[in-house]
Structure 1
Amino acid sequence: MMAAIASRLAGVEGVVGVSLGGSRARRVHRPDSDVDLGLYYRPPLDTEALRRLAAELTGERVEVTEPGGWGPWVDGGAWLTVAGVRVDWIFRDMDRVRRIWEECRAGRFEVGVQSGHPLGVYSHSYVGELALGQLLADPAGELAELRDAFRDYPAPLRRALVEHAGFEAPFALSVARKGVGAGDASYVAGCLFRAVGVLAQALHAAAGSWLLNEKGAVAEAGRLPGAPPDFADRAHALFALLDATPAGLATVLDAADRLVSEVLEGVSPGGG
């Protein structure tokens, strides 16, 4: 069914190709997981044609956004239910994907604020989505060409993400200490989340593995070579142990400091 939908999407003006993404592309989905279809496009995108197709597929009027309608990084798209299956159309600007790839090759990345992404959207996820996706429609072969290039994780990006974690994770824990005396568990938790998130980014980068978003990132990082023993269990335990007492918060941060040190030692050049 998805291949047939992708074929029809590829016939809409502006659509370059369609890729299956998310957990289904990586075959780690649950039975109730959404189907994520990446609609790679170049402006002008015929959103009216997309609305007509969405209504035909669902039997009802469906909101399809204009590009940018969901924010600066998620871009836009639509949420559909087709034959009882939740199907998400997610817009991706082809020219932007190419620009981000050049940034990755130069060792540069951005972290954008976006609803639904508490750590922020890392720009290289645009590359990772296509690198890990399954092509469903690619009339001109442009997606396949890019995906082949994306399979080699750029060494400059790897270094940049590891260096970023080397500063950001210890800094997050140091400022978390400012909330200990007041028993500010929520502030400490936020700092812990940021520290753990950048560690997951660094572990993926060191392994040359694309990380797409925060969901499942800690568990995935724990399975990578170079991760400390029981990384995921130890990272998750930090949040389970949080309480609002100064002594309790200090104990959690001490454990977090040890985990950060082990990860950074393992991913640093010559480490591990």
Structure 2
Amino acid sequence: MRTMQTVIESMAGQLAGVPGVVGVALGGSRARGEHRPESDWDLGVYYRGAPDLDALRELAGPGVEVAGPGAWGPWVDGGAWLEVDGTAVDWILRDLDRVGRVWTDCRAGRYEVGIQAGHPLGFWSPCYPGELALGRILADPSGELAALQAELTEYPEPLRAALTASTWEAEFLLAGAAKGAARADTLYVALCLSRAVGILVQALHADARRWCLNEKGAFDVAAGLPAAPAGFGPRARRLLAAPGGTREELTATVADARTLVADTVAALRACPEA
């Protein structure tokens, strides 16, 4: 009787044989051992140049749409959504050369935050190397994925410094949110709050030298990291769950948020770097 593990391993080998595909890595919660029984199987399909879409479509089978590079947006290249034995299997295209360029930027303390469908707080470019760092390589005929993964074992200190310093934007956002609160502009205030908390989450991950891949589950992890100030989780949850609808309620929420940001910044500065 075949298991999903053997199905996935066989599929990865077939994907690696598609012209243009360099290798395949298992990502997401299953790679990290944090999955639930219903969790998807996420396969990062690393390619160079352009993958053979016709070959990918043939492998995917009838009725499955395979999206080429760029079809899903500027950062999540494309791929396919399959169902195998009642289980969701996602192919996610990744341009290996672009991953390498982003890794070079990360080592120099540079990163981008781009607009991408499915990423309400934006796509943070360090996700690219982070995915491979935390992934499990399933097929790698040339050894390129393994070589790059070996470089990713140590979180780059310049990236850590850049992301922990990015908390200035959270402070800036909440200064603007205070003006929005005075106008009872609930949407603007809510957006500022969510992005400010998202920035703190990224900074806390970086301070702990942990790759933060996306918004899913990142908040709960951040709340338990060493630099998180006392009560970070409950405090942030209250802010996001009910910011309010009146000028008075929104103003009080923004004031609490500014205190949380200040406490987090102070904790990050006090946290030892070594």
SS in 2 for 1:211: coil
Native 8 Å contact 2:227 2:271 kept in 1 = no
Determine whether 1:45 maps to 2:51: yes
Alignment match, 1:194: 195
| Residue 25 of structure 2: aligned partner | 19
2: CA distance between counterparts of 1:151 and 1:69? 31
User: How does the TM-score come out when normalised to structure 2?
Assistant: 0.94
Tell me which residue corresponds to 1:127: 129
Deviations, residues 110-144 of structure 1 (Å, cap 9, x unaligned): 11111111111011100100000011111111111
Distance 1:2 1:262 in 2: 45
8 Å Cα contact 2:244-2:253 kept in structure 1: no
Given the alignment, which residue of 31, 37, 42 partners 1:36?
42
State the shift of 1:103 in Å.
0.3
Structure 1 residue 229, shift from structure 2 partner: 2.4
Amino acid at match of 1:170: E
Q: For 1:52-90, what per-residue CA distance to the aligned partner results, in whole angstroms no more than 9, with x for missing partners?
A: 0000xxxx3211011111111011100111111101100
**Partner of residue 9, structure 2:** 3
2:252 corresponding residue in structure 1: 251
Segments of 5+ residues of structure 1 without an aligned counterpart are none
1:255 is paired with a residue of what secondary structure? helix
- Give the SS at the match of 2:205: helix
1:141-168 alpha-carbon deviations (Å, 9 max, x no partner): 1111111111111100111111112x10
**How far apart in 2 are the matches of 1:143 and 1:271?**
33
**Corresponding position of 2:178:** 177
Q: Structure 2: how far apart are the matches of 1:140 and 1:177?
A: 54
The number of residue pairs the alignment matches comes to: 267
Contact kept in structure 1, 2:169 and 2:196, CA below 8 Å:
yes
The 3 A distance-change label for structure 1 pair 222 and 213 is same
**Partners of 1:152 and 1:74 in 2: how far apart?**
25
Extract unaligned runs of 5+ from structure 2.
1-6
Contact 1:68 1:76 in 2 (8 A): yes
Q: TM-score, normalised by structure 1?
A: 0.95
Say which SS state the counterpart of residue 37 (structure 2) adopts. Answer: coil
User: Which one of 109, 112, 115 corresponds to residue 110 of structure 1?
Assistant: 112
Among 156, 159, 165, which residue is 1:157 paired with?
A: 159
**Secondary structure of the corresponding residue to residue 121 of structure 2:** strand
Kept in 2, the 8 Å contact 1:104–1:157? The answer is: yes
RMSD between superposed Cα atoms in Å = 1.4
Other structure's SS at 1:119 match: coil
CA separation in 2, counterparts of 1:214 and 1:77?
Answer: 20
Shift in Å at residue 105 of structure 1?
0.6
Q: Distance in 2 between matches of 1:151 and 1:259?
A: 32
Q: Kindly state the Cα deviation for residue 195 of structure 1 after the two structures are TM-superposed.
A: 0.3
Q: Which residue of 1 aligns with 2:97?
A: 95
26-35 vs 40-49, greater mean Cα deviation: 26-35
Give % identity. 55
Q: Is 2:67–2:79's contact at 8 Å kept on the other side of the alignment?
A: yes
- Please state how far the C-alpha of 1:271 moved relative to its aligned partner: 6.7
- Would you say the 8 A contact 1:107–1:157 is kept in 2? yes
TM-aligned CA deviation for residue 269 of structure 1: 6.2
**How many Å separate the matches in 1 of 2:133 and 2:98?**
15
Residue identity in the other structure for 1:34: D
**How far apart are 1:266 and its partner, in Å?**
1.5
Q: 1:28: Cα distance to partner?
A: 1.7
Q: Is the 8 A contact 2:181 2:254 kept in 1?
A: no
Partners of 2:14 and 2:270 in 1: CA distance: 48
Match of 2:76 among 61, 74, 77: 74
Whole-Å separation in 1 of the counterparts to 2:241 and 2:126 = 30
